[in-house]
Structure 1
Amino acid sequence: MNSTHRFTAAALFVVISGALSVIAAPELPAQLVIHWNAAGQPDGTMAKTPALALIPVLSAALLVLFAVIPRIGPLRENITSFRPVYDWFVVVFTAFMATLHGGILAFNLGYEFDFTLFVLAAVALLFYYAGILLSRAKRNWFIGIRTPWTLSSDEVWDQTHELGSRLFKLTAVIALIGLLFGEYAVYFLIIPALLTAGVTLVYSYYLYEQIESQSGSGSESNL
């Protein structure tokens, strides 16, 4: 399967989202619930027409962006080196959006389930695949853990992404375990995700300073 086939699969999920909107529209109320609080209680609505269009249109726009990124990046040759796993991330992401859209429609059609837990499960799976993507990503300006220090050094990029990949996967596992804790489940995703962001940021800075320090010591010893 080549890149065109993978993006076709991703586009199919966008089409499915649109088709679900068309099929469900006659049975839906004039206002759709589109937001829930951490306890799983609905706390935000939107008029039916824009609500039905929101995720399909957003997914289509993001799909176009995902298709353009490998062609415009200053380091696009590095994206080419992990293009298959990048393409599959696009497929997984559009599937995630279609699943989210389907869940919103189902809830508004009267099906009873905890929407927050539904979303958390889907996000956890997306995080896990993001961890796989990070383990393969090479230095570029659009995809991965982009700090001033990872973008300045291939070594810092690789080591930071090795750690980031493990932390993203761990976050996903913790989030899935958190589904057992009801209204507290959201914290099993938010807290590990914030810690992951903080740890990878600090780690990339630390690695860069260590490498620079070793490089400076090596230069001095040669004088």
Structure 2
Amino acid sequence: MNTRQRFAIAAGFVLVAALVGILAAPSLPDRLVTHWNAAGVPNDTMSKPVALAFAPVLAALLLALFAAIPRIDPRRENIQSFRPYYDWLVVIITGFIALVHVGVIAFNLGYEFDFTLLILAAVAFLFYYIGILLTHAERNWFVGVRTPWTLSSDVVWTRTHVLAGRLFKLTAVISLVGLLFGEYAIYFLLVPALVTSAITVVYSYYLYEQVERGTDPSTDSL
């Protein structure tokens, strides 16, 4: 499967999201529930036209942006080196948006389910795939852990992304376990995600300082 085919799948998700909204529109109320609290209780609404257009338009815009990035990145050749993983990220993100959109429509059609748990499970899957992607990403300006230190050194980029990939996968697993804890499930996602972000930033700085000072023995073999 090539890039064009993978992007066709992503475009298919955008189209499905739009078509589901069009077909369901006559049966939906004038205002749709579009937000839930941590306990899965609806707490905000949006007008039907805006709610039905928002996700397909967002997905289409992101798809266009992702298509442009490999052309405009100054290190575009590095993106090409992990292009299949990049393309599947695009597919998963558009699929995620389509899932959320269909979930909103289903809920407003009267189907009863815990929307918050659905989103958390989907985000856990997204995070796990990001963990896979990060271990393959080469240095570029748009995808990955982009700190001043990772962008300044291939060594720092590679080792930071190895760590980040493992932490994102761990966050995904913890998030899935959190689904068993009801209204507290969201904290099993947010806390590990925040800790992961903090650790990767601090580690990239620490590693860069070691490499610059020549005090990191592991760089001798890189």
User: Is the TM value for this pair above 0.5?
Assistant: yes
Aligned to 1:152: 152
Q: CA deviation at 1:23?
A: 1.0
How far off is 1:215 after superposition?
7.2
Q: How far apart, in 2, do the equivalents of 1:143 and 1:62 lie?
A: 14
What is the percentage of aligned positions where both structures have the same residue?
65
The DSSP-based 3-state class of the residue aligned with 1:74 is coil
Q: Distance in 2 between matches of 1:158 and 1:84?
A: 18
The whole-number CA distance in structure 2 between the counterparts of 1:129 and 1:24 is: 31
User: What's the counterpart of residue 99 of structure 1?
Assistant: 99
Superposed CA deviations along residues 163-203 of structure 1, whole A, max 9, x for unmatched, are: 00000000000000000000000000000000000000000
Which segments of 5 or more consecutive residues in structure 2 lack a partner in the other structure? Answer: 217-222
SS in 1 for 2:43: strand
Q: How many angstroms apart in 2 are the aligned matches of 1:168 and 1:194?
A: 11
Report the AA paired with residue 110 of structure 1: G
Match of 1:206 in 2: 206
Segments of structure 1 that go 5 or more residues without pairing to the other structure are 217-223
Task: Give CA-to-partner distance per residue, 1:91-129, whole Å, 9 cap, x none.
Answer: 111111111111100111111111111100000000000
For 1:60, the aligned partner's letter is: A
Moved over 2 A (4+): none
Please tell me the residue identity of whatever aligns with 1:99. Answer: L
TM-score normalised by length of structure 2: 0.96
Aligned to 1:6: 6
In the other structure, the counterpart of 1:31 is 31
Alpha-carbon RMSD across the aligned residues, in angstroms, is: 1.0
Q: Which amino acid aligns with 1:106?
A: A
AA aligned to 2:49 is: T
Give how far 1:35 is off.
0.7
Please give the residue correspondences for 1:91-130 in structure 2 after superposition, counting only pairs within 5 Å.
91-130=91-130
The CA deviation string for residues 15-55 of structure 1, in whole angstroms up to 9 with x for no partner, is 00001101110110000011111111111111000100000
1:24 and 1:122 mapped to 2: Cα distance?
Answer: 23
Question: Residues 40-92 of structure 1: CA distance to partner in whole angstroms, max 9, x if unpaired?
Answer: 11111110001000000000000000000000001111001000110011111
Task: Give the TM-score normalised by the residue count of structure 1.
Answer: 0.95
